[in-house]
Chains A and B, each alone.
Chain A
């Protein structure tokens, strides 16, 4: 299991490939992947830039706890979570969550569980730059 905070742009697909190369071949039959990407529109306004603030230490700890809960709940082989921090731009990847399992059920369910847990409780905050100035995003979309 790996949890990584990343201060510079990353390619979720390259990271996924590199991480999977180190997993034991022949054991996993399902990889469920979620990639969150920055959009250029929010609440009807053009967004040109966003800053992702986090609580260093607690963000990593909370992500590890959520991934650990998923490991207890489902029969998983591995989990990878990468989350951006700092200044990001439209089309940049914000987050990658990947879950490896023997079969698709636990992979899908665990991936969803980790994404939802992260959205609800990992201490990250988005501040976006719109034509009206900078503003804090007050809540995540329900789904």
Chain B
């Protein structure tokens, strides 16, 4: 189980057969992000389009997955329908631990099934089942059918797509175990293009541990730090939605398509309000004692005679920002209803909400009309916005099909590009300023998690390009190390390099522990090389005008600083992609 190589399962959906393979490179790339890039370089087709059947879908875990708490994430890598380039998306749930217990460092899916299918894999089985009856089904319903068909309650992970994924939408997510997602950059569309409705991973193997007591002792110490100190409290108390009020106060919350950055009506959708009014309970990813997943509820009356149904809906800062603040929906139950619709459709809630915010402003400015949107769109009109999310998920007409490829693409066709809140992809929920905007616009995943630009904006008043640039590169390097292990990034304050080294050593990865810095830099380069090889040119990324029009607590945005940082960061990314590893130089 603790291996000096990688053990991967490569499945060809066209034949329904798989192959267990051994890959070298453990000490060089660790796993997760590093392993995914290594696998794409080996099996990917950088020059072929994203929906070429031979393009691989990669699910990779790391050397610490399952062995330590919060080492609970899986890295999904694929060529993205959103930008037709190499992409990563990360999710938790049970996927990572299930892969570990299935005895795999990575699952690689290639080929296209002749008919809609699902894949089931475990420590001692591999099956591709024809499943035409699941096609068209909403995400929750697919989960229910598969739970009935595949045994292993509690010890399996069910990854599935909704109607959006079947439409090859650039904003289709892969739902993981109901409440988690490989959200961004259209991983669900990549699955749909393979006729693959779902993947069930059964964690049904068990493995020996290192001899002696050192490993168990270290585990207990880490567990203690994570549960008995205040370090993780913000994640399980109010959770990430604590940011809503904080950012609103700072004038750094994107509201109504970023026309505003602070507004009094946001008080209806703060983390405090969600917790007091809607929170039912928390759940956790497997192997994480923190339990950051917050479940609220939607309760709907469907008959005059007091007949109701209810559903549990997970919420976080990003969904609340995307379908709440950005759409001007300021009632927490209404927000949960909109999140729930994106869940049914299998849409990435962030991309969908922000794209719809652009459409809503475009309607306001009469750039598009009901002819395109089918229903009238207005900020705050939750009912019609919910219908619009359904149209976006099902690809109801040409307009919604184009919007599902990104607000930028829709704006290029209809106009209104100045206010399409796109930073590489639809923006994340931080209007903190120049460093965050550049970080997301150019960053590897176009995610607020590539590097903490939003945090840098809040901590630094000066506009020092070198300092900001060094931060972006160094912070990315640190995060790449964690996503190669694969840690939840919420644990980044706990898993500092010394502790990571101790963890690796306790499992026998002494060489890796001693060369973590080199490993991180190598993976950082490898990821950029892989992305650049699929056509990315960071120098061409534009930051729409709307971002330059905002005012935060620091005052108006500094356009000169933004532009200078954008150019320098683009240059640095290109250099990183061209750098040779020390051993090759």
A and B from one complex: no
- Which residues in B have some Cβ–Cβ distance to A below 8 Å? none
